[in-house]
Amino acid sequence: MKRIKPLISASLLTAVALSAVSCGGGSKEGGMDGELSLSGAFALYPLAVQWAEEFRSIYPDVRVDISAGGAGKGMTDALAGVVDLGMVSREVYPPEEAKGAVGFAVAKDAVAATVNAANPKIKELLERGMTREAAIKIWITGEAKTWGDVLGTDDDTPLHVYTRSDACGAAETWALWLGGKQEDLFGTAVFGDPGVAAAVQKDIYGIGFNNIGYAYDNDTHKPNDGILVMPIDIDGNGRITPDERFYDTKDRFIEAIAEDKYPSPPARDLYLVTKGVPTDSVTVAFIKYVLGKGQEKNVPAGYIGMSEEKVQRSLDMLEAASASEGQNR
């Protein structure tokens, strides 16, 4: 069996520096140099790398360092001033706002349940799907011990449940859909999105949850080898209807998220987070790039772009902070 194509290597748990050589493409602009650092959510990491590469093709004298380690790390690093931008795959909580956290919504994706493609009940699982109530029994109450418990039958095929060990937006979002918090989730705890996907791939009885970027192959946009996305029986009628059947490719899934056919949560906005509204030229330029030209990369990379209203709200915050700083000089 082929292994999941890694979206990030092990070295990306430490800072990944985009080289000082321009990546090419786009028009270069002078007059700006410096450094920009980002850390946080695995969900946003692949898109952030693409944004950084193009940003550096415009501003080749800016060095960009990116590391992936979970949304919790991104938030902590941003509030501590360790990085300029935290990548956070959930909403900013009020206690974080009280500490100065400011979130800029930059993309949208979703978390989905993943199962092993060789699961002995796979045909029935894809036909009947998983209700929210069944998911609660799997991850919140721990009542589900077999795949029969998931399907509402007397089948005794064992069920192996996986969750995340790191503080992350994916687990928070998944738990929120189920009426809980990350610490409420049952299962064998595994670090990172790639770790959960790999665990499910190796375990024919396994079920986990992943950001959709780690459930699908980046090149083919089909499910990664060895895993499939578990459909959600949204209307609870015991079968996956045509309106609920959109998991065969990443493109169809993204279209369903955009059309609100997939629940929200576990669909969610992704954020770049700063401590206070930034006014330094490099950080502001990067955020403005992401909210402008950078949005063109969202859909090809497997994400959804932000609405004009949300983009304008973020731009207004930046402009207000810039004007305030100008008055205080």
In angstroms, the CA 298 to CA 31 distance is 28
Whether the Cβ atoms of residue 261 and residue 241 lie closer than 8 Å to each other: no
In angstroms, the CA 119 to CA 33 distance is 52
Is beta strand 62-68 parallel, antiparallel or unpaired with respect to 188-190? unpaired
Q: Output the pTM of the full model.
A: 0.81
Which helix (DSSP H) or strand (DSSP E) does residue 247 occupy? none
CA-closest candidate to residue 115, choices 224, 235, 263: 224
Q: Which two tokens stand for residue 307?
A: 């609405």
- What's the pLDDT tens digit per position in 199-258? 999 999 999 999 998 999 988 999 999 999 999 999 999 999 999 999 999 999 999 999
Region of residue 324 (phi > 0: left; psi between -120 and 50: alpha; otherwise: beta): alpha
Mean pLDDT (whole number) for 136-160: 97
Whether the Cβ atoms of residue 115 and residue 128 lie closer than 8 Å to each other: no
In angstroms, the CA 292 to CA 304 distance is 14
Domain ranges of the chain: 15-107+269-328, 110-258
Q: Which two tokens stand for residue 3?
A: 């292994």
- Angle ∠(165,171,174) on CA atoms, nearest 5: 150
Is beta strand 267-275 parallel, antiparallel or unpaired with respect to 85-88? antiparallel
In angstroms, the CA 76 to CA 89 distance is 13
| Check whether domain 15-107+269-328 has CATH 3.40.50.720, yes or no | no
Check residue 83 and give its pLDDT: 98
Do the first three CATH levels of 15-107+269-328 and 110-258 match, i.e. the same topology?
yes
Q: How confident is the model at residue 323 (pLDDT cuts 50, 70, 90)?
A: confident
In angstroms, the CA 241 to CA 182 distance is 30
- What's the pLDDT tens digit per position in 60-96? 999 999 999 999 999 999 999 999 999 999 999 999 9
In CATH terms, the superfamily for domain 110-258 is: Periplasmic binding protein-like II (3.40.190.10)
pLDDT > 50? residue 264: yes
Q: How confident is the model at residue 302 (pLDDT cuts 50, 70, 90)?
A: confident
In angstroms, the CA 92 to CA 77 distance is 14
Whether the Cβ atoms of residue 227 and residue 198 lie closer than 8 Å to each other: no
| H-state helical runs in 178-307 | 192-202, 250-258, 281-291
Q: How confident is the model at residue 29 (pLDDT cuts 50, 70, 90)?
A: low
pLDDT > 70? residue 262: yes
Q: How confident is the model at residue 30 (pLDDT cuts 50, 70, 90)?
A: low
